[in-house]
Amino acid sequence: MSLHFPESILKNPRIKVAAITPTGKAINRPRSARIGATPHDLLWEAVSRRFPAARREYPNVVPGRKFRLDIALPDRRLAIEVDGWEWHGKHKGDFERDRQRQNLLTIHGWRILRFTAGQIQKEIDAVLATLEQACAALPGEGAG
């Protein structure tokens, strides 16, 4: 569905883009078109520097399921997830699916650590310290 708005509406500085975006329709921009790094990007950059064995968008962690982990340390079976209201709690169905997913991961031997965008953006050193503590407590092949 394509929407067309008169130039007078599109160029009016008092009208915000959200006001002319159809309800329920997100504007999907390619990653390269976003302004600044996303929390996922920031976390990945920090984790991959500290833990070279880390993998992003790690697939096939639960047989028969297609979901991926935001970041994984496979040798430690440690899942690192970016949590946010937008994807993990806005709708009851999403919230319930996220809990089912976490339970399946736990049943299959994964430990899950969740960090909010705010923690990632403001406290990345504390996030990395938490990951190091988790790695020290888990069997595996070194910290990375």
pLDDT digits over 92-127, tens only? Answer: 777 788 889 999 999 999 999 999 999 999 999 999
Domain limits at 127? 34-137
Lowest-confidence pick of 21-25, 79-83, 118-122: 21-25
The torsion region of residue 77 among left (phi > 0), alpha (psi -120 to 50) and beta comes to left
The torsion region of residue 143 among left (phi > 0), alpha (psi -120 to 50) and beta comes to alpha
16 lies in some domain: no
3 lies in some domain: no
85 lies in some domain: yes
The residues, ordered by sequence, that sit 6+ positions from 68 with a Cβ below 8 Å of its Cβ are 57, 58, 59, 61
Q: State the total domains in the chain.
A: 1
| More reliable by pLDDT, 120 or 22 | 120
11 lies in some domain: no
27 lies in some domain: no
Contact in structure between 126 and 132 (CB atoms under 8 Å): no
Query: Helices (DSSP H) in the chain: which residue ranges?
Result: 7-10, 17-20, 39-50, 85-88, 92-107, 117-122, 124-137
Q: What is the CATH number of the domain that holds 128?
A: 3.40.960.10
Residue 103 CB neighbours (<10 A): 11
Contact in structure between 5 and 20 (CB atoms under 8 Å): yes
22 lies in some domain: no
Structure tokens at 38: 């996303």
Which pLDDT band, with edges at 50, 70 and 90, does 32 fall under? very low
Written as one letter, the residue type at 103 is: N
The Cα-based distances of 92 to 2, 26, 35, 52, 97 in angstroms read 30, 19, 30, 36, 9
21 lies in some domain: no
Mean pLDDT of the chain: 79
28 lies in some domain: no
